[in-house]
Amino acid sequence: MNEDRGVPTIAEAARQIKAGILSPVALVEACLARIEKYDPTLNAFHTVFTEEAKLAAKEAEKEIESGNYRGPLHGIPIGLKDVFYLKGYKTTSNSRVMQDFEADEDAAVITKLRDAGAIFMGQLNTYEFTFGGRPTFDALYPPARNPWDISRSTGGSSSGSGSAVAAGMCLGALGSDAGGSIRTPSAFCGIAGMKATFGRVSAFGDLPLSFSFDCVGPMTWTSEDSALMLQILAGYDERDPGSVETPVPDYVSSLNEGVRGLKVGMLRHFYSSDYDAPEEIVSAIDGVGETLRELGATVGEVNLSPLIDWHAVGRVILPAEAYAIHEENLQDRWEEFGPLARNRMMLGSLVRAVDYIQAQRRRTELLAEIEGALSEYDVIITTAMLTPQPPLDDKAPFPFLDVPMIAVPFNLTLHPVQTVRAGFFEDGMPIGAQIVGRNWQETTVLRVAHSFEKQAGLLKRFPNLD
């Protein structure tokens, strides 16, 4: 077990930068040194902004010294999943189809982070066109590796983001999530990840996988750091058709209010009977409920439709929408797709209109179930993974046919979810839990997540990279 991540959290760094104790230049140089040392093995980045980051750090330091402190992300090294428009750079989504694409403007979240003073460290690897499942070796760039065990998968599709944050090569990263693509790599890599309420964070300038539930969000070491990033990322954007004009609360001020008096519903049957998850997962997720009970929450059990029902709906809607987005390129540029990503998308071409409509109808029924549960409970807890991290070289073309998608239920219902580290397997690999809240109540989700992390003390364990 390694006892040092090598860099501070965003919250720690922000306090030190504001107080003049930590230099943004020194912080960026520390991250660049870790990238130089570890990324040749981990493949988290495909492009590192070495000189750009150094220059931005110097400018940030001058601003802060002159009294123009922009806030807790000022001078903080952040990695960018390569699905976001970034003017002056290619946005590839790890596909040869997009290898020459360069947007003429920045994604909304890129602008927000830049305005907040964040330092961009580089572009992070992803699964081709963000289609999750197993990593592929046939895309534009090689797959990112898991810092806890480089022979194991990071999960996807925000694979580079999970790897880079876990390895301390940046303090936070952008991810996107249409079926668990923030939450799965967060769980597999032992970090925190937030899928906010659909419409909370602008998806303008994000290369999508799904029209109806693709989300953008932060991936960080702690839930406190997720709150700091979400505070910057959240907000209405008229350029995004899914964006909702609703007030953005203060995500940070309520983090330390605790959970006493809150009602927590454990969604156990997803991982204990609908799917026979390993005992280590069952014990770890049940332990989240026990920890929250010790902190004063009331803990009960939630019963919904079987997980396979949720999985079936997601397996109709997600490939159908992915195929609709990429149909023209699949027809005209077939050979430029990696075979695994191409074959996964082609499943969507087989979905009939009646199947899609029936899936949306069933989705509405499942949404009502979650709303009913959340009328009784403040948050719902379930697992973020049903199996250990698979081998990186597992080439199963359709892994989602073997194991139900545990993250997709909350894409279907659009609710906010935070992934937290819940424990470890016997071999030292991390286990992740999902904390689900009511729509627009990310404050409560983050408050519960932060309370659990402080009490459980599991974040004091780090990947042993040496």
CB 72 within 8 A of CB 62: no
Q: What is the pLDDT of residues 19-60, one digit of tens each?
A: 999 999 999 999 999 999 999 999 999 999 999 999 999 999
- Name the active-site residue from 95, 157, 161, 202: 157
Strand partners for 391: 152
Look at residue 58 and tell me if it is in a domain: yes
Does 452 reside within a domain?
Answer: yes
Q: Is 23 a catalytic residue?
A: no
Orientation of helix 24-42 relative to helix 159-166, angle to 10°: 120
Q: Can 349 be counted among the known catalytic residues?
A: no
What span, in angstroms and rounded, lies between the C-alpha atoms of 170 and 216? 18
- One-letter amino acid at 180 equals G
Return the half-sphere exposure (C-beta side, CA atoms, 13 A cut-off) of residue 73.
Answer: 27
Angle at 24 between CA 18 and CA 30, to 5 degrees: 130
Query: How far apart are alpha carbons 174 and 217 in whole angstroms?
Result: 6
pLDDT band at 2 (very low <50, low <70, confident <90, very high): very low
Picking from 258, 205, 255, the residue whose alpha carbon sits closest to that of residue 230 is 255
Q: Which of 426, 411, 417 lies closest to 444, judged by CA?
A: 417
Is the pLDDT at 135 greater than 90? The verdict is: no
- For the question of residue 37 being annotated catalytic, the response is no
* Overall average pLDDT of the 121-128 stretch: 96
Q: In what order do the strands lie in the sheet with 430-437?
A: 45-48, 119-124, 77-81, 172-177, 215-220, 192-195, 417-424, 430-437, 379-383, 263-266, 298-301
Query: Residues 323-359: pLDDT tens digits?
Result: 999 999 999 999 999 888 888 899 999 999 999 999 9
Residue 4 inside a domain? The answer is no
Q: Determine the distance from the C-alpha atom of residue 19 to the mean position of all C-alpha atoms in its chain, rounded to a whole number.
A: 30
How far CA 27 is from CA of 119, 206, 262, 337, 407, in Å, comes to 10, 28, 38, 38, 34
Does 329 fall in a domain? no
In a domain, 332, yes or no: no
Computed on alpha carbons and rounded to an integer, the radius of gyration of the chain in Å comes to 20
- Domain assignment of residue 61, yes or no: yes
- The pLDDT, as a whole number, for residue 132 is 67
- Segment 431-442 mean pLDDT: 98
Closest C-alpha to 190, from 170, 228, 164? 164
Q: How much is the pLDDT for 399?
A: 59
Q: Which domain holds residue 274?
A: 10-309+344-460
Tell me phi and psi for residue 424, to 5 degrees: -140, 150
Six token digits for residue 345: 């998308």
DSSP classification of residue 142:
P
User: Mean pLDDT, the chain, as a whole number?
Assistant: 96
Note whether residue 60 is domain-resident.
yes
pLDDT given at position 397: 61
Whether the CB-CB separation of 93 and 128 falls below 8 Å is answered with yes
CA gap 241, 204 in Å, rounded: 9
57-92: pLDDT as tens digits: 999 999 999 999 999 999 999 999 999 999 999 999
Question: What's 55's domain CATH number?
Answer: 3.90.1300.10
Residue 436 or residue 395, greater confidence: 436
DSSP 199-228: TSB--TTB--S-TTT-EEEEEESSHHHHHH
Total number of domains constituting the chain? 1
**What whole-number percentage of the chain has pLDDT above 90?**
92
Out of 95, 158, 163, 181, the active site residue is 181
Residue among 181, 218, 209 nearest 405 (CA): 181
What pLDDT sits at residue 1? 38
Is 400 in a helix, a strand, or coil? helix
Assess whether pLDDT exceeds 90 at residue 182. yes
User: By the 8 A CB rule, do 18 and 230 touch?
Assistant: no
Would you state the structure tokens that stand for residue 395, as one six-digit string? 């080439």
The span from the CA of 359 to the CA of 364, in Å, is 9
Residue 341: what pLDDT? Answer: 85
- Is residue 319 situated within a structural domain? no
